[in-house]
Structure formats: structure tokens, C-alpha cells
Amino acid sequence: MLTDYSTIGIFFLLSLSFPLAALGLAALLRPKSKFDPEKIVPYECGVDTKGRTWVRFKVNYFLYALVFLAFEVETIFLFPWAVKFNKLGIFAFVEMIIFLIILLLALFYAWKEGALKWY
Amino acid sequence: MRGAETFFIDLARLIVTWLEKQGMSPLVADIVLLVIQFICIAAIVTVNIIILIWLERKISGFIQQRLGPNRLGPWGIFQTIADAIKLLTKEDIIPSQTDKIIFRTAPIVFIVISLMLYVVIPFGDGMAIVDLNMGVLYFISVGSLGTIALLMAGWGSNNKWSLLGAMRAVAQMISYEIPLAFSLLGVIMIAGSLKMSDIIAAQNNVWFVFLQPVAFITYFIAATAELNRGPFDMPEAEQELTAGAYTEYSGMRWALFFLAEYTNLFAVSAMAAVMFFGGWQGPWLPSWLWLPIKAYIIMLVFFWLKWTLPRIRMDHLMSFSWKVLIPVTLVNLVVTGCVLQFFK
């Protein structure tokens, strides 16, 4: 018998076959593409591309990612608590409320400091 | 009716016993069964996308007071098939300045991730491939990996539209992932389990949409944003970014992205049906018809929203998640906890 996670592992290998089969079928059916330097320039609405694309990007995105990280870790804490909520009783409930309040305060702090502002 | 209800489970058992009679060990028989299940899921996904695209084009036509596809076959139902054949036979163009490896793997990663979501979806009574004991967590975590595929596509393309689209997609998807997970927490608190079958069993008397209406609304909004669907389709806003992260893709590679988006759409709708609408439970019809029916109704609402509402601006979109949805879901969590604690 397969365990749950070995099933998922085998399913992962099987699902790799789906895009590979689709791409393989397309490779068999499609016409051979003729080389043409004009055809393979980056598409930027007909205008030649200027400068590099891989540049340092706007810092806003990074700030959101940092706040996201804090919340995502919190989610991991909340899941086991939510599952066992009915058995844990009042103590765990109060504890988690304090935790949530601290997090909400942190969110408002980040908000006030301008991490959530979009320039 | 009883026979129809357990038809697929009986069929699976029949195949396994037949294989074992042929001298296969139980392990090999299980693997063969898994291969058959995978082929079924691939077929479901492919048929689904053909129906869904046709349906969406017809519905958008209806909403915009035009006909939609109407040439091929009655009501244009063969239009998607013709499109699929066209995409299969298109020549393969990889632009010169791309990061070749990342560019080629991105669509594969995206479709594999969306197929992996189907492992835990219970298509009927006892008809999930794996009824994982942390099914909901698996669904959320695998679902969020799609972000990486979009970032790969955008960065690998070496195109300004693609990069902007990918960055927007990443910012949006990570922002809306938190309300998505939080809104499911309320349901999990009531059901007391992460297992899909337990959650469905907990909805025997009343659907969770009536116990957790706020959670359902926030889940629905967050799911729309996670799927990059309108009105949250900023990452591929065609009027300003051409096609976002998909700009450089053509032919089959592009089709894989498209396929994965609709695959995700069905998975998320099925998940909404499981979490809030009693999953496969329903009268008269067998359970494996109820889940698709519910998922299709939810998808119709997704289509309706997309073609009715105008696109939301990027800064509004981000602040809506952080300043409205997250506080609302947290308060919903606390209220749910209070009610469960004091009115039990």
C-alpha cells in the first residue's frame, strides 16, 4: 500500500508528464520555424527595446514581501491552534487573542511607518 | 441510485482486485490505479478548459450584448477545440534575450503546480485521490507556489512588460494569500480538522457559508485576486502591459499558462464548494455530480464579476488587502473564537 505522501510524490512525477506530452505533441505538429533576427527581438509594442530589463526594482515590493513573511509565519502558528480550538479551552483562546492583538498592532505600526504606501 | 453513488469507487476496487489476480503485488496495483486516476484528472482538466473557455466567451458576449463565438458547430461549441488545434500547430518562438532555461520551465512549473492541487479535492464521497489529514494546508501551500512560476516567466522573458506584470502578480498574490488563509481558519475552527472529508461531514446540518458569511466573502475576494482574474487582473492588464508575464509566450507554452489558469479556477471553486457549501453533499443526485455542479455555479459568479466590474488600480488593490481584508478576517477570527468559546 502507498502512504499518503508517496502517492503525492508519484502524482507529482505523473503530472510532469502532462506538460511534457503537450509540448512534445506541439513539437511534432508545428512547422519548423525559420530563423529571422527580426522575429526574435523582445516584443515591446514594435519599439526597439532600450536599456536593460534586469535592473534594481522598486523597493515597495520588497517591503510588502517583508510584512508578508511575518504574517505567513503567523498563519503557520494559527493553523494548529484552529484545528485543536475546541479542545484547548479558554487559556489558549486568550493567549491567541493576545498574539493576534500584537500582530494587529504590528500591522498598524507598519501602516503608520509607510510600509504599505504605494509610491 | 446506490449503484450510481459508488460507481467509481466500485470500479477502482474492481481494477485493483483484477490486477492483483493477474499476479501483481498490491503496491504495483496501487501505482497502476494512481496512473489511471491521473489520466482521469488530466482528461477532466482538458475537457473542463474546453467547456469553460467556451462558457466564459459566451457569457461575456451575453453581458456585453453580443453573440460570442457562433460559427463552429451549434452555438459555437467547437470554437475552443479549433483554438486548441491552432495553438498546437503554431511555430515555436523563443526571443533572443531570454534566460532560456527559466523561460522554458516556467509554464511546466505552473501547470504541474495547478495539477497537484487536484490530489486533495474530494470529487465525491470518498473520491479524493488522497484524503490528506492536512488537506486544507496542503491546498493553500501548493496553491501559493504558482507565484514562483509567474515570477520565473516574467524574469526569464527579459521584457519590460513581462517583468512589470510578474512583479505585480507576485505582490498581489502574496498580499491576498494571507486573507485567503485567514478566512479558511474560521471554518477550520468550527470543523476542528484540516481533513476535507471531516470538513464536509461537519456541514451535515448547516453549510458553513451560513455560519461564516464574512469568511466566505473574504475568501471569494482573495481567491479572485489569487487567480489574477478581473477585477483584480492588474498583472496582465492588457491595455497597459500587453499580456503581463505571458507577453513573450506563444503557441503551446502560452496555452499551458492559459490551461493552468483555468485549472486553478476550477480547483479554487471546488475548494470553495468544499469549505462553504457542503462539498459533495446534496439530495437526489450522486455525490460526484454535486461537487462539479457547485463548482460550476461558483465559477459562473467568477465570470460574472470579471465581466461586470472595472479593473482596480494597483495601489487600491494592495491597500484593499492590507488595510481592509486582513483586519476584517482577523476580527472574524476573534468573533468566531468568542462565539465558539462562550455559546457552546
A73 interfaces chain B, CB cutoff of 8 Å: no
Q: pLDDT tier at B94 (50, 70, 90 boundaries)?
A: confident
Which pLDDT score, from 0 to 100, does residue A1 have? 62
Query: CA-to-CA distance for B4 and A105, rounded, in angstroms?
Result: 54
Written as nine digits, the cell of B115 is 495539477
Mutate to test the interface with B, among A79, A107, A111, A113 (most CBs of B within 10 A): A79
Q: How far is CA B166 from CA B99, B149, B156, B227, B247, in A?
A: 15, 9, 10, 13, 11
Q: Please state, rounded to an integer, the average pLDDT across all residues of chain B.
A: 85
- On chain B, the residues whose CB falls within 8 A of the CB of A105 are none
Q: For residues B57 and A33, is the Cβ–Cβ distance under 8 A?
A: no
Q: For residues B277 and B186, is the Cβ–Cβ distance under 8 A?
A: no
Q: pLDDT tier at B315 (50, 70, 90 boundaries)?
A: confident
Q: Which has more pLDDT, B74 or A115? A: B74
Which pLDDT score, from 0 to 100, does residue B219 have? 92
Q: For residues B125 and A72, is the Cβ–Cβ distance under 8 A?
A: no
- The label of the residue with cell 477532466 reads B44
| Start-to-end CA span in chain A (Å) | 56
Judged by CB atoms closer than 8 Å, whether chains meet at B96 and A41 is answered as yes
Mutate to test the interface with B, among A10, A30, A104 (most CBs of B within 10 A): A30
Provide the shortest C-alpha distance from residue B233 to chain A (in Å).
17
Judged by CB atoms closer than 8 Å, whether chains meet at A107 and B322 is answered as yes
Closest CA in chain A for residue B259: A19
Q: Find the helix or strand (DSSP H, E) in which B3 lies.
A: helix B2-5
Task: For B96-149, write each residue's pLDDT tens digit.
Answer: 888 888 888 899 999 999 999 898 888 878 788 888 888 888 998 888 888 888
pTM: 0.89
Which pLDDT score, from 0 to 100, does residue B2 have? 60
Task: For B187-237, write each residue's pLDDT tens digit.
Answer: 888 888 888 888 888 888 888 888 888 999 999 999 998 888 878 887 777
Judged by CB atoms closer than 8 Å, whether chains meet at B89 and A7 is answered as no
Provide the shortest C-alpha distance from residue A32 to chain B (in Å).
7
Closest CA in chain A for residue B89: A30
Judged by CB atoms closer than 8 Å, whether chains meet at B88 and A30 is answered as yes
Judged by CB atoms closer than 8 Å, whether chains meet at A116 and B319 is answered as yes
User: What does B237-270 look like in DSSP terms, one character per residue?
Assistant: -HHHHTTGGGTT--HHHHHHHHHHHHHHHHHHHH
Q: Please state, rounded to an integer, the average pLDDT across all residues of chain A.
A: 82
Residue B1 has pLDDT above 60, yes or no: no
Q: Based on the number of CB atoms within 10 Å of its own CB, is A46 exposed (0-12), middle (13-18) or buried (19 or more)?
A: exposed
Please, which contacts does A50-57 make with residues 24 or more away whose CB atoms are closer than 8 Å? A53/B97, A53/B158, A53/B159, A53/B160, A53/B163, A54/B155, A54/B158, A54/B163, A57/B163, A57/B167
Residue B269 has pLDDT above 80, yes or no: yes
Closest CA in chain B for residue A50: B160
Q: Which has more pLDDT, A38 or B141? A: B141
Gyration radius from chain B CA atoms: 21
Judged by CB atoms closer than 8 Å, whether chains meet at A75 and B181 is answered as yes
Mutate to test the interface with B, among A29, A85, A96 (most CBs of B within 10 A): A85
A12 interfaces chain B, CB cutoff of 8 Å: yes
Q: Is ipTM strictly over 0.90?
A: no
Which pLDDT score, from 0 to 100, does residue B248 have? 81
Written as nine digits, the cell of B85 is 488545434
Provide the shortest C-alpha distance from residue B65 to chain A (in Å).
30
Query: CA-to-CA distance for B229 and B224, rounded, in angstroms?
Result: 6
Judged by CB atoms closer than 8 Å, whether chains meet at A64 and B160 is answered as no
- On chain B, the residues whose CB falls within 8 A of the CB of A63 are none
Hey, CA dihedral for A97, A103, A109, A111, is it positive or negative?
negative
